[in-house]
Structures are given as C-alpha cells and as structure tokens.
Structure 1
Amino acid sequence: MFRTLRGIPLLSCLLGSIGCHGQPPAPPPIQKGDYSAIIRYLQTRIPPEMARENVAGLSIALVNGQELIWARGFGIADKAKGLPVTPNTAFRAGAISKLFTATAALQLVEQQRLGLDAPIQQTLREFYVRSRFHSDQADADRAITLRRLLSHQSGLPSEHLRDLRNSFAMSQMPMRVSGVWLSSPPGSQVAYSNLGYALVGAAVERSTGKDFETQLQNGLLKPLQMNQSSFIGTGAQAGFRALGYEDGTLSPDAQVRDLAAAGLWTSPKDLSHYVQMLFARGLYKDSRVLGNASIEQMFTQQNTGNALDFDCQMGLGWFLAPCGDEPVGPGVRTYQHSGGGDDFAAQVTVLPDQQLAVIIMANDSNAEDMVVSLSTDALRLMLQAQTGHAVCADDCQAPSHGLKLRQVPAAVDRKRLAGFYATAWGVFRIKDGDQRLSGELAGYDFELLRDDDGWLRAQKKVLGFWLKDLGELGRVQLDVVTVQGRQMLTARSHGQRIAVGERIDPPPLPLAWADTIGTYQVLNTHEPDAPLSGISVRLEEGFLVIRGQLYDEPLTDYILLPVDNAHAVLAGIGYGLGHTVSRQINGLSASGYSFKRTQSPHKPLSF
C-alpha cells in the first residue's frame, strides 16, 4: 500500500517515459547444438544495452539440464573500488528469495514439522487475524494455511510497513502483526504478500528451533553448494557483493526486515545449482535435497477455480505462467520469478519440459525491462539450439500499433465504461467527455479507442500527432468484464488476460469518515529509511481518496471505502489493495502506523 510507481512491471515503461528504448540487434541463426553462437551473441548484445540503460553491472547463467552452459559477469560491482562483476558476485535477489523459503518449508513438511494444509496458527500460536469475511473469527484463523501463504492466497495484506527497514528478529513478527485485518477471503484469489512469506519464515524458525539463516544454510544452501549465498539483512557481511545503483548513482545498503520474503544474496551461478536440483527431481550431485512429491506440489497450480485470477497461474512460490509478460513461445510452459527493489533487478525463468533455464541479476533499477527481455530472448535461442528450429514466427511478434481501424467508442459504450477504477498503480480514471473516452493514471492522460478486435487501446497526442507507442499501456488491450458481480478492468497482453483494476461506485459517506479529510504525519517512528512519512485524505467526485507521502515525494492515490464508522479499506483487489485503515481519537492507523492529523479543512463539510 502507499507505493511509488517505479518498479511495477505493467505500465512501467509509460510511467518512466513516453515510449520505450530501441530494440536490441537481431540474433543470428542458431544451428542445433550450437550454444557457443548464443554466447557470442549475448557477449555482443549485453554491454551496449547496459550502457544504453545506464546499468552498472549484470551477471547471467544459462542452464541445460544438469549442465551450466555459461556463467559470465559484465560491468562493475563497485564503481568506487573499480571491482568488476564476476560469476561469483552476489546480488540482492529480492523476491526470488521466496523460492528458497518455499523449498525450505516443503522440506519441513516432508519431515512432518510443518503441515501444508494445517493452520499456521498451530506453529505460530500467538498469531491471529481479524476478518470482515467470517462470522466466526476462529474460522478466519484456521483459513490461514501454509499452502495459502506459499501461493499468495492467504488473504493477508501485501505488506506490514511499520519497521520495514528494522532488523528485529524474525521470531517477533507473528506477535507484532497479530490482529491484522484480512484484505480478501482466504483461498479466493492470488494477492501477492511479502507479509505472508515473513510469517512462513517465522514458522521455519519455530519448527526447527534455529534462526532462519542457519536453517537455510544447513538445509538448502550448503547442500546445493551455493557458496556465495546467504539470507542477511544488508550486504555488509556478504563477500563478493555488488553495490546497488539507481540510474548510475550509488544507493544506500538498505536493511531488509523480511528476510524470508526478500533477504537472499546470491549469484546466477549459485542459483543454477538450485535449478539443476529441480530438474533432477530433488537431487543435487546424487544427494537428496527435496522429495519428488514436494517438487510436484511446488509446480502444481494452486489457484484453479479463482475466477478473479484470470490467466495468472500460481504454484507454491513459482508463477506458472507469464501473467501478461511476453511468453517464450507458443505452447512452451514457462515457470518464473523475478526480484526487484533496493536498486537491484533479477529474474529466474525455467522451461520445465525442455529443462532449460536463464538466470539474470543486475545492480541497477534501470535494468528491470532489460532483464525481462534478455531472459526471453536467450531462452528462445536456447530452444532453437536444442531443437534446431526457430521458436517464433508471427505469433511472437509485438502487437501492431497501427491506428487505421481504431474508433472512438460509441456514446452508450463510453457511458458504460466511464468511472473510477481501483488498481495497484493507483486510481485509474476513465471519463466520457467531448465525445471521446479519456483515461488518466498517475498524472498521465491518454485517449481510449476501440481496436479492430473490439478492445480498448490507449493512445496519446502530442502537438496534434498520434504517438504510436505508450509503452506497456499502449501495447495491452483493455476492457471491463463482470466477474462474480464485480466490474473488473482487465488487460489482454500476449494472449493472456490479467486483472488490472475494479470499478468502484461512489459509496454513502458517513460523517465520521467525512471528518477524516485532511493531512496526517506518522507518529512515534525513528526507523531508518521509513517507507512512509505521512498521508492525506481528500474528497474527489464523491470518493474519499487517500495518498501516501514520503517526505517531499507524493505516493499513489487509493480509493478509501468506509466499512463502518471505525474502519475503511483501500478499494479493489490485488497488491496493496483491500488493506484496512482505522479511525483513532485524533487520527488514523494503517499498516502498523499511527497518523496524527496536522491539518483539516477550515470549514466542516455538511451532508
């Protein structure tokens, strides 16, 4: 909740700049078995692409079954010292950490120390939740299982922002967040949750009697000979580590509290050992690390039947479909996980049927788009080397940006679509006016037209001329569909439909919540690098709109929906949405923070 827009995959190209950067050079024809041609191409492609994107350092590993085909570092790990990136350089893995947390938890399920479908409260007895979806609160506690935590279906909030950069023991987390309100009904949808994985980490510690780093080293990292890998909150203790940069400028070495969700330092070369273990059905160098049945569970879709997830398939830890990203090829099964934040970017992508994998890590936030495209292109070339046939023809090409067949939606269509939509990127406003349909998101405005397939497409004029490229926003096809009685704004990208937002109608506004309009500052926090310094609440076209503030930087707008006189929620479904905001005597509370009012309207509102 209250997030900035940088680092969000969908729309990130638009919100970073109008249009995207140039295309990489076309790869050469690859003969069957000729992986050396792939390596030569990547060695030629990567350095100029890093220079163009101002990326300091990058490391890559290519895996074919039990063979590490290639591991190579490019650029600089530490500019001040002039240290180059090598295959052994450790990067922040970010959310890729969750794959190891899920694996460690499944090891403990095999040892009968944890139950996959047992309430997590059996292990973390002090932890409980509050729910507006259950009449019996004990039922809500029982609904939070390890399986749902690992597949992001627990219904827990995405984050607990208070003390996000502190280093208190992981074992304290269950007590600190006990009493948290659920954001969605457990088991009903995938809603990505770092908080959920922090609790899994606490359960790993509680069930083994060891701290998380010790358990992961002994149970997973050392057996996999991942010698440059560790779960630590900063990079100070990590040898061979890369420093993080933002657009070429050195970033602080931020403390990570939720180690189980995002605390891993590792290299693509080390990660290749983990991938080889998965390909070998749990064996690494003839030693059993994980049971075959656990791997089957990890790669089995867990969200079957969740209509609101559309085409996004979730396993235990792994995403089992591109979820709107460009697929490697038609009918090619792809499992992946990315990691970003703290000015690092990473992705691990595996093709389970062909036993191919590409792992890329970089130490600059600018590298996010580059890492994604490079991973996809490298896997296509590896498939070609394996089979002797090119993966893609016309079905892998980017959608056309032509305007010839696009039309302004009819009046009745514009009226149906106009409204406020709650999305993870903020409030998406669609307006009907001047015989056109316009959209606005995060300060960017554009026109919405119907394409020849009947989908909405975003376009923008500058000085009277159409721009053919609005980044990801211009590429996806949009429309509104009704699912389970909810009007969902969806996007179709590369043949996959994903949820973007939910249409929200103006609710009745209780006087108690109308009185919350004003600005607020965080109380009693001295945490370093706090993610939030204040919030504001305003009235816009019948909606309460809440916005986070990080000192001089305004964060994202959300629609605030009152539930009763004491509680409201951030409208919509998905990352950061559904979180509960509570009224207090002289302020508000949310995500562990208390906020004191600093300013209110001069005149009280009357209704």
Structure 2
Amino acid sequence: MNRMWIALGAWLAVAFPSFAWQNSPTPSDGLTAYLKEELRDKKIPAISLRIVDDQKVVFSLDLGHQDYLGTKPVTPLTGFRAGGITKLLTAICVMQLVEEKALGLDDNVVRLVPEFSPANIYKKPISLRALLAHRSGLLREPPEGNIYDPTNPGLKKIVQSLEALPLVYEPDIVVKHSNAGYATLGYLLEKFDKKPYAEVVKSRIFDKLGMTHSSFSAAKSPVETLAEGKMWTYFGKEFPSPKTEISNTSASGLITTSDDLAKLISSLNRKGEGLLKPATFESMIAPQYLPPDFPGGMGLGFFVSDLEGKKLIGHPGRVPGFTSNLSVMPGEKVGVIVLTSKDAIANWVNHVADEALRDYIGRKKNLPGLTFERFKQVPVEEIRRLEGKYANRDTSVEITEREGRLMLFPNFGGFWQEYKLSDRPNEYVSDDGLSFNGRFRRVERIGNGVQSGPLFLERRPASDRPPPEPPQEFRELIGEYGPDTNIVHVFEKDGNLWCNLDWFELVPLIKDSNDAYLFPDNCTLAGEKLIFLRNPLGKAISCFIGNVRLSRRKLDGEDGKTFKVQVTRPVKELEPLAKKSEPPKESIEEKRPSELVELAKLDPLFKFDLRYATKNNFLDTAVYPKEAKGYMQKPAAEALVRVQAKLKSQNLGLMIFDPYRPWYVTKIFWDAVPEKFHNFVADPSKGSRHNRGCAVDLGLYDLKTGKYIDAVSGYDEFSDRAYPNYIGGTSRQRWYRDLLRKAMESEGFTVYEDEWWHFDYKDWKHYGIGNQTFEELANAKP
C-alpha cells in the first residue's frame, strides 16, 4: 500500500507539478516578528512577501496598511508597483522572439528599429544582447518618458527622443543601467507583435502563467486596491507618491501582487517552464561578456550573484513610493518576492529577500531558524562625543547627530547612513532602509578614530571658524531643479559643487567646461553630464541631465525676499473673530504659573526683528501693535541668556523674530493660510508653544557689524529649505544653522521638525495657553 502511494505521488509530481508533494519546513516565526518590528522602526507602510519552493508558496506574509493614512490593512489582493522587476518580463518576451528565430541576440538594433537612432561614433553597433545586459552605452534616462516626466508619451516617442543623442560609453564595454535601453526593447516588442506592450506581456506571460492581477495601468488594474506609496527625504519631509502612470512601461511599469509574481517564480524555479526552453533560460542567467564560470554580473535581464555559495538570480525594483525584489536560487528551486510601499529602501529589501531565503533553506535542511539581528539606538550623549570628521590620506567621513540618531556620510559621495549599537563594545552597525549592508556596514570606535574593515580613519580637529563663502559662480547655480516628485538639489559642500539625485544619492560634480559638470564613476549617472543654462544676469534657469531639461524651481524666499502667502481671508476680517474666540480648555499636570518676562531687559545683546509687528511677514500684514515686545517664561528666557553667552565668544548674537504669541494670533495664522501650509503654523485647537511662552523664532547676527547672517532659507519661508536638515545651500549657511541648533539644544531647547529657526523649551508642557495681548503685558505689574 505504501509503495502504491509513493508511486502515485511520483506520478502526480511529474504530471501535475503544482500538486508535487514537498517536505516543506514550518515558516519562520522569527522572520515574521522581525518584519513587524522593522516596519515600525523604518516607517514602512506595507510589505508583501512570498517564498516559493518549486511550484508551491510555502510562506506568505502581508503586513501594514495599503493607504498612506494607515487605515486599510494590506491583503493578498493589494497591488504594488514593482519597478525594475518589469525588465525581467521585457527580457523574457524578447527571448521568446529569439527562440522563434524572429530575432538574433547579436542583431543590430538600429536595423530592427529604424526609429532608434542615437549618435554612435564607434564602429561597433548596439546589439540586442547589449541592450538586455545594460551594455548598450546609452544614457540612463531618455529625454521623454524619463523618471522626471509626468506625461505618458508612449514607447515610440520615448525611442524617437533618443535621436542623435551621443552614447555615454562604447557598446559592450561598460555595464550602465539604462531605462532608455529597456524602452527600446519594449518598443521592439510592440513592432514585432503589432500590439501595445501591455498586451504583448499579457499574451506572452500573464495568460500563460495565470497572472490575473497584473497590469501596466493603475486606471485599468485588476488588483483590488493599488497601495499608496510613501516618499521621504533626508530632511524629514514625507508625502504620498504621485498617482501618475509610469511612462516607461517596459522598464518599470508593472503593477502586480506578490501572489502573481509567485507564479513567475514557479516558472523560473523550473528553468522558465511554460515560458522558455531550458537552454534559453540558462543563457539568460549566464553573465554576459564574461567567462562562463564567472560568479556574478549581468545576464540577459537578470542580475546574477551568489548566496551561500549558490547562484542567485533576479532583479530589484524602485519607482517613486515603492521598492521591491525578486530573487531565485535556481539550483535550489526556491525563490522569494518582496514588495513594499516605501521609496528607496532597496538595500533593506534586498537584505530581507536574502535572509528569507537563508532562513527557509536552512530550515529545509533541519537547521535552526535564523536569529534576525536587531540593534538599539545609540545614546545621544555618545553620538555627540563621536561627532566630527574622520579621515586618512584617501578617504574621509563625517559623523553627526540628527533627531537623536547617529548618521555617517562618506565624503566621496553616496548616502547618509544611520547607525545603531552592535552587541560588541564600541561597534556601530548601519541599519536603515537606504544604506543597509552598504559600505561601512560596521564601524568600530578605536582610540581617536574609527575602523571599518581594514580601513582606519583618524579624527580631525574640529574648526571653530565658519567655512568660506563659495565662489560666485556656485551661488548662481545652487538651487532646486525638476518636478515636485523628483527634485534635484544642487548645493555647495567643502568648496565643491554637489547634487542630490533621486532624493538620496549625493554626488560631487567634476567641472568639465563652463557650466558643464561630469558625474563621477561611482554614481548611477556615471559618464553623463550636468549642464546648466543661465539667464543674461548669470543665474541658472535650468539644467540638463543627458538631454532631459529640468527647470529651476521658483522659491519665493530666495534672494533675501520675505516669503508671502495668498491668504484665504483678509486678516482684518479674521482678527475680530479670533479675539472673540476662546482658547481650548486643557488639563495640565504640575501646572506652573505664568512668569512672562521681557527679553530685552535680560541681555543687551539680544536684537529684535518682531516681524508680526510689521508688514514684513508671510501675511504681508501687521498682527501685533507697533509697541509689541518679546516675552518668554522666565526659565526659558534665562536659558536663552545662557545661549547668548556661549555665542558671544564667537562674535555672534541672537536675532529674535518672535517669542511669546497670544493665542488669538495663532488662530489668525491657521485661518489665513491655505491648508497645504498648515504644517508651518500651529493648530489653535491644540495651542502653540509660542502661546505658552516657551518657544522662540530666531537667527544669528554678527556682533561686530550688526548684520543678520544669511541662512539656508528666509525666516518663515514655507518651503523644503526651512527643514532643519535640508541638505541644500552652502557649507557656510549650514554651518551657522547647525551652530545655532547645537547652542540652543545645549540649554534645553529642541528645534521644530519643519523650521530651523523655531525652538521649544523643554518645560513647555507645564505652562497653559496664554492669550494676553501685548498691551496687557506692557501694563502688567512686574
């Protein structure tokens, strides 16, 4: 009887692969617990993960929420944008045409697609193989349908926009990721199959594998709900990803579910079964232009590497708001798909995919499940002892504290990395979504320096002098370029011009000629140029990356002008209504009596520019009387005096814009400004820390000249430049901004997360909301 069941099982496994009986291990509870904690720690809205053993999904996990506000849980039918995983679909379809002998891998693409006509000065043509393996020499982004382009021109226009554009590299020589190349492959498929790219993939892949919840259009997607993606920045701003369609559909347009991609993995686990011949599949996962036994590289659509000494193939993905990874170990017939709804966390997503495979394969071999590493925050006092620059002859890094986190940046370019405490003494581990497992993964404090692997960097003496002013030519280029969803920041750092690509990649620029700068070899735009276009006065009005034009963004607070808003109602109408309103009632533990004191009487070095007593403010209207003065609660005021004493030694004084503010003024602000700016004004239903006499808006001035010191943004500028960690501007501006912050924090103040000039005193919770007018305060007994 047992033999009969064994024989039946073997027959079922051959005849119906999806019914194969497998000795699958129990899914790891450790992985689930780890991911739950990581979603909280790294503020990831949602993750969907599947592990596929041969033809069977052996582990499913859907965590988090599909909407940006976090009210709707993720389900197996929640769709995600899969980004670069799309390229695998494009490559498979192209290789099906190769199997059909409609195409040859070494065919000249220009002959196949006459509309494809970049300027190729080399004798070597661009082959189909080169496009598939990212060795075409094409630039990364096409002029139309690029990652900065919100329109949807179609693949034909994307390909036509490459006309006469010079190649960045000679074909076949350098691996350079090119979305332009995969747009060309997608258009090639449209020409051969005589239908739109989406229909090509549907008939050639989706229908064959039963991928019924996959598409290339959010408007026509069969998924139950498309998750809302989350965008974020170095400086703390977060916002939902754009809802526009992905223009370059054949490079990164796929919308799908993890269950649908599990079906693709099932096919790849069996050498492309149902899609490709085994020999074709094997050719796709062999590194191209390299020896056959080379351990890694770029295959035909597939990234090829190894995990635990075994071949690993797949593709990562990133589009605005989403990061993903599809990985398969063909020798083990095991694969994993990870989909998330947060932007630019590729290193963490890749790590999760690798760890999930390691954990599962280990359990399959009856080994204990992995122990997933968790790390603790570094105490702020310890971070501040570490702050500074570290260098040897060739390399330097800087370590700083941001919102209580230890951050490290390599000064040759790359990413800011967050570090946490290791279990080992004096060791710190990079642990954020962006830089996870990157260079400088582990850093150890040794003596007067830090060690990372064989690299030792010695601490350099800190300077108490501000950096010099940058050259005038830099000042005319510094600014923001491009659309809201993908801003390119151009800034000065350490006497060089830098830019921030795709929100996170910080790149030093190399001057090539007047207004033309080269991107370095270690960035995603290697070999390409950033070219500025100036107006007759010399100020840059746009820049070009490749042939993509990015207009300079208009910032109302630039050039020393006061930022203004278009009010929803005139202040004259709002003021009497606000004065008739009542502040919210509240209960305060350990409430302290109000002790508002006049700041001018405490220190003659305080300088005042009470903007709201003038028209020189964002409302363009005075809301304080001309006789208004600056007040704060006594403990906060005394702390401010101590800050001034510390700054005096550096010939700096405090320029005070606004300390205590009556509650009715807070209500005027809230009712006057458009809702999109409400993060820059306090909610009157909660009261402001200004109302409690424990907040102050200020900047710095030079004690010798009396002049206000130029900051990264203007005071009360409602823009990204107002964020305390905004990366733009000049080294000198950021140095003064950070100096002010450290001086204030040393005396118990905390900077407001959206405004570098706003500081709250630590005891603010013990004071009630105040609504005394300035006239009442002036007439009060001392």
Conserved? CA contact 1:560–1:571, under 8 Å: yes
Distance 1:264 1:460, change over 3 A: closer
Question: Partner residue of 1:71?
Answer: 60
| SS at 2:440 equivalent | helix
Question: Partner residue of 1:56?
Answer: 45
Conserved? CA contact 1:152–1:193, under 8 Å: yes
* Alignment of 1:101 onto 2:90: yes
Distance 1:361 1:445, change over 3 A: closer
Distance 1:312 1:262, change over 3 A: same
Question: Partner residue of 1:270?
Answer: 260
Pairs within 5 Å for 1:334-373: 334-365=312-343, 368=346, 370-373=348-351
Q: How many Å apart are 1:516 and its aligned residue?
A: 8.9
Structure with bigger RCO (C-alpha 8 Å, 6+ apart): 1
* Alignment of 1:197 onto 2:197: no
Conserved? CA contact 2:223–2:257, under 8 Å: no
Question: Partner residue of 1:377?
Answer: 355
Question: Partner residue of 1:468?
Answer: 428
Pairs within 5 Å for 1:133-172: 137=121, 139=123, 142=125, 144-160=126-142, 163=145, 164-172=149-157
Q: For residues 101-120 of structure 1, what are the alpha-carbon distances to aligned partners after superposition, in whole Å with 9 as ceiling and x for unaligned?
A: 11111112222333311121
Which AA in structure 1 matches 2:95?
L
Pairs within 5 Å for 1:74-93: 74-78=63-67, 82-93=71-82
Question: Partner residue of 1:240?
Answer: 224
Conserved? CA contact 1:85–1:242, under 8 Å: no
| SS at 2:138 equivalent | coil
Conserved? CA contact 1:318–1:337, under 8 Å: yes
Question: Partner residue of 1:519?
Answer: 477
Which AA in structure 2 matches 1:302?
Q
| SS at 2:135 equivalent | coil
| SS at 1:371 equivalent | helix
Aligned partner of 2:280 among 291, 294, 302: 294
Distance 1:521 1:130, change over 3 A: farther
2: distance between equivalents of 1:591 and 1:162?
11
Conserved? CA contact 1:181–1:580, under 8 Å: no
**Who wins on radius of gyration, i.e. which is larger?**
2
Which has the larger displacement, 246-255 or 259-268? 246-255
Distance 1:383 1:474, change over 3 A: same
Which AA in structure 1 matches 2:330?
P
| SS at 1:321 equivalent | strand
Which AA in structure 1 matches 2:254?
L
Which AA in structure 1 matches 2:279?
A
Q: For residues 465-484 of structure 1, what are the alpha-carbon distances to aligned partners after superposition, in whole Å with 9 as ceiling and x for unaligned?
A: 9663355343279xxxxxxx
Aligned partner of 2:411 among 435, 440, 460: 440
Conserved? CA contact 2:209–2:263, under 8 Å: yes
Question: Partner residue of 2:529?
Answer: 580
Which AA in structure 2 matches 1:172?
K
Q: How many Å apart are 1:338 and its aligned residue?
A: 1.5
Which AA in structure 1 matches 2:264?
Y
Conserved? CA contact 1:351–1:357, under 8 Å: yes
Distance 1:351 1:470, change over 3 A: closer
| SS at 2:152 equivalent | coil
Q: Where does structure 1 lack aligned partners over 5 or more consecutive residues?
A: 1-32, 132-136, 399-412, 420-427, 430-437, 447-457, 478-491, 496-513, 601-607
Q: How many Å apart are 1:567 and its aligned residue?
A: 6.7
Pairs within 5 Å for 1:496-575: 518-519=476-477, 529=484, 531-532=486-487, 545=497, 547=499, 556-562=506-512, 569-572=518-521, 575=524
| SS at 1:296 equivalent | helix
1: distance between equivalents of 2:241 and 2:419?
35
| SS at 1:84 equivalent | coil
Distance 1:37 1:596, change over 3 A: closer
| SS at 2:350 equivalent | helix
Q: How many Å apart are 1:264 and its aligned residue?
A: 0.3
Question: Partner residue of 1:258?
Answer: 248
Q: How many Å apart are 1:313 and its aligned residue?
A: 1.4
Distance 1:321 1:540, change over 3 A: same
Aligned-residue sequence identity (percent) comes to 22
2: distance between equivalents of 1:362 and 1:439?
27
Conserved? CA contact 1:521–1:596, under 8 Å: no
2: distance between equivalents of 1:554 and 1:69?
35
* Alignment of 1:591 onto 2:546: yes
| SS at 2:226 equivalent | coil
* Alignment of 1:208 onto 2:157: no
Pairs within 5 Å for 1:3-18: none
2: distance between equivalents of 1:582 and 1:255?
28
Distance 1:43 1:443, change over 3 A: closer
Conserved? CA contact 1:191–1:573, under 8 Å: no
Conserved? CA contact 1:65–1:356, under 8 Å: yes
Which AA in structure 2 matches 1:380?
R
Q: How many Å apart are 1:77 and its aligned residue?
A: 1.9
Which AA in structure 1 matches 2:260?
D
Q: Tell me the TM-score normalized by structure 1.
A: 0.65
Q: For residues 258-279 of structure 1, what are the alpha-carbon distances to aligned partners after superposition, in whole Å with 9 as ceiling and x for unaligned?
A: 1111100111211111122122
Q: Where does structure 2 lack aligned partners over 5 or more consecutive residues?
A: 1-21, 233-237, 375-390, 399-408, 432-437, 444-451, 455-471, 560-782
Report the aligned-residue RMSD. Answer: 4.5
